[in-house]
Amino acid sequence: MVIPRRKRTRTISVTSGKGGVGKSTLISNMALKLSQEGHRVLILDGDLGMANIDVMFGVRCHYTVEHVLAEEKTLKEILVEIYPNVFLIPGGSGVYGLQRIDTYHKKLLLDEVSELEGGFDYMLIDTASGIDDNVLYLNSAAQETLVVVTPEPASLTDAYALIKILNIRLGENRFSVVVNMALDEREAMNIYRRLSDVAQKFLCISLDYKGFVPLDANLRAATKSQQLVLQMSPGSPSSYAIRALTEKFSGYTSIATSKGGMQFFWEQLVGATL
């Protein structure tokens, strides 16, 4: 597989404090939208328990990062093109062992990552939900963190817990928020303001509102059938909302962050000190 050199990859983690908020659905549709704009997108499926990005694109992956660490496959060999210009790195439980690998395997992995750097415009990281250390590391290593919340009270509470721990333990202070499955914009703004007010009051950080995605019948049908709503119902309200959300990330090329691209992400993830 030949991957041409391009500009530095932009890394975005999509995360949540609670499961069942639609992270994988958003990532899959965002990747599709970015590819339709001519971007090359890499998805890291880091959600060990609910890894289903491949299923949503109608493909099956047979190898994961575990096989790379076991030296059975190279990173390029486990890379799967799941849609034109959309590639997937199936994480498996290998992602959860990256913090514990030895220096030899760190160098092995980073050497392979260096061959991918520049071949993609975007890297989207689908993290597991919650506040497990591996979730924190995935979010901290990315340039940007998009927190997905829903109107469910537990989702809001758990999202704040995740933001708080990332801020206090790892010094993260830049977060974007999207409200998924909202009835309308009024409900979405109410959810965002509640989360934003608490973060401002107790953590002194501002959250960037990226919009909302309504839970319409088309999105429910697409999710149930494990399809992409942008393909199944491109004219639906949820499809319009996802395109608008994606454009907020693709509408500009530079971001105010000291973090680098894909190589930086992996170096941070494995705690590289070679």
* 60 is a domain residue: yes
Report yes or no: 262 and 9 within 8 Å, Cβ to Cβ.
yes
Does 271 map to a domain?
Answer: no
pLDDT-derived band at 273, boundaries 50, 70, 90: very low
Which 3 state secondary structure label does DSSP give 94? helix
Tell me which DSSP letter residue 9 carries.
P
Share of the chain above pLDDT 70, in %: 86
Backbone angles phi, psi at 161, to 5 degrees: -60, -40
31 neighbors 25 (Cβ within 8 angstroms): no
- Could you tell me which residues come within 8 angstroms of residue 267 by beta carbon, excluding any fewer than 6 positions away? 110
Enclosing domain of residue 145 = 10-250
- For residues 262 and 180, the model is more confident at 180
**With bands split at pLDDT 50, 70 and 90, how would you rate the model's confidence at 265?**
confident
Q: pTM for this one?
A: 0.89
- CATH number for position 175: 3.40.50.300
Report the domain count for the chain: 1
Q: Please give the share of the chain, as a percent, with pLDDT higher than 90.
A: 53
Is residue 182 a contact partner of residue 152, using CB atoms and an 8 Å limit? no
270 domain-assigned: no
Q: What is the pLDDT of residue 267?
A: 79
- Residue among 176, 142, 174, 173 nearest 42 (CA): 142
